[in-house]
Structure 1
Amino acid sequence: MKNKMSNRYELTDFKKLSNEELAEAFIFPSKEPLTVKEKQEEEEFWQERRKQFANRTPQQQIYDKLLQLKFQLEDYIGSNQYQAVLNFGYFLNEYVNIQNKQDKEFAAEIDVTPAVFSQYRNNHRKPTEKFVIRLELHSNGMIPALAWFKLLQKDKEHEIMTNTGIRIEESRHVKNRLEFAY
């Protein structure tokens, strides 16, 4: 509630300013071409940036890729679209591959048998709560258990929405259905 109130105050503060004052508060890009010196500075900046990127440690590279995976996972679970290929197994597979680990090695790190891990990875078995919590702990909280659970939930939602066979089967167990005129 406090945040909403403080946002209201900030908005009303803007209303007190004139259009000229608001315009001066922002920096607009120049439409003039860059000078030779500015072009040189820009090129030097980008050369240094490429050099830093190329000289990242293996640990930094893994961190960057895991961050990218996390954002991809969050974008997917936040979207309304379902894509069968972006299932739990896909993201688990990516998580392990980013670290350049073998299944057996990773399974040992999170204390599951390689066979069980393989079943999770290939979507032949739904992961347990304990397994998902272990994934969060293994990533040191970078990919929260809640994100993994939401991914599983998205798979379940799609299954429920598209499985007409279960509706037909379960309709035999329902009597005195409610009737409404639309």
Structure 2
Amino acid sequence: MEKKNKKYQVIDISKFSDDELADAFIFSQDNKPVTEEDKQADKEFWANRRKEFENRSPREKIFSKLLQLKFQLEDYIGSNDYKESLNFGYFLNEYVSRQDKKDKEFASEVDVTPAVLSQYINNHRKPKDEFVIRLELHSNGMIPALSWFKLVQKDKEHEIKTNSDWRRDESKHVKNRIEMLY
């Protein structure tokens, strides 16, 4: 197999001002006046987009809602902020409701009882690893199990950081603490 040598031109960008670099990579419309024809084309474009959006199939609408949820979940687990309202139960409830399914129907699809699903949604029970894997499988990989696990972990990290009663209770079980020299 013959290898072709590609030649690349190396450009010293330090010779150029920030404005010159921006002009080289950003297409400006400042030089071109907007015509009535442009306005009409823009209006038609957005009318067609709106029509397409309104005429989506129920399946496409659900897919869009779930994709939006996936991005919201990823943004949240990637942030350093913790919001109590954005817990595992919240995202699970959103996942079920954005599919326009009843809890009982969804519980059957992932082989848990409606009572267990309710406990997960209302944060009365932490999800089992098997359940989180089922969520990935149910979404056909759209929302990976790892994202659900990270969400559970984020809840746990917050609990560890903020639960002073827990620390006080556990301190009764610790003897001979290491003395630190500062």
TM score, norm. by length of structure 2? 0.85
Give the letter aligned to residue 153 of structure 1.
Answer: Q
Of residues 161-170 and 90-99 in structure 1, the stretch that sits farther from structure 2 once superposed is 161-170
The residue number in structure 2 matching 1:46 is: 46
Number of the residue aligned with 1:5: none
Do residues 163 (structure 1) and 160 (structure 2) align? no
Report sequence identity in percent: 66
**RMSD over aligned Cα, in angstroms?**
2.3
Distance 2:14 2:74 in 1: 38
Spell out, residue by residue over 1:126-161, the C-alpha distance to the aligned partner (whole angstroms, 9 max, x if none).
110110000000000001101110110011011111
- In structure 1, the residue matched to 2:62 is 62
What aligned pairs does 1:67-146 form with structure 2 within 5 A after superposition? Answer: 67-146=67-146
Deviates more, 1:144-153 or 1:28-37: 28-37
Q: SS of 2:179's equivalent?
A: coil
- Indicate the larger mover: 21-30 or 154-163: 21-30
Which residue number in structure 1 is paired with residue 27 of structure 2? 28
Q: Hey, what's the Cα distance between the residues in 1 that align with 2:15 and 2:41? A: 36
Query: What amino acid is aligned across from residue 28 of structure 2 in structure 1?
Result: P
Amino acid at match of 2:12: K
Distance 1:41 1:113, change over 3 A: same
Instruction: Report Cα offsets for 1:44-92 as digits up to 9, x if no partner.
Output: 1111111111111111100000000001111111111111111111111
Q: 2:16 aligns with which of 14, 19, 27?
A: 19
| More helix per residue | 1
CA distance in 2, matches of 1:24, 1:17: 15
Name the aligned partner's letter for residue 84 of structure 2.
Answer: A
Q: When the two structures are superposed, what TM-score results if normalisation uses the length of structure 1?
A: 0.85
Task: For structure 1, list consecutive stretches of 5 or more residues without a partner in the other structure.
Answer: 1-9
Distance 2:168 2:175 in 1: 13
Paired residue total: 172
> Following the alignment from structure 1 to structure 2, what is the Cα–Cα distance between the partners of residues 23 and 166?
55
Structure 2 unaligned residues grouped into runs of 5+:
1-7
Distance in 1 separating the partners of 2:80 and 2:175 = 33
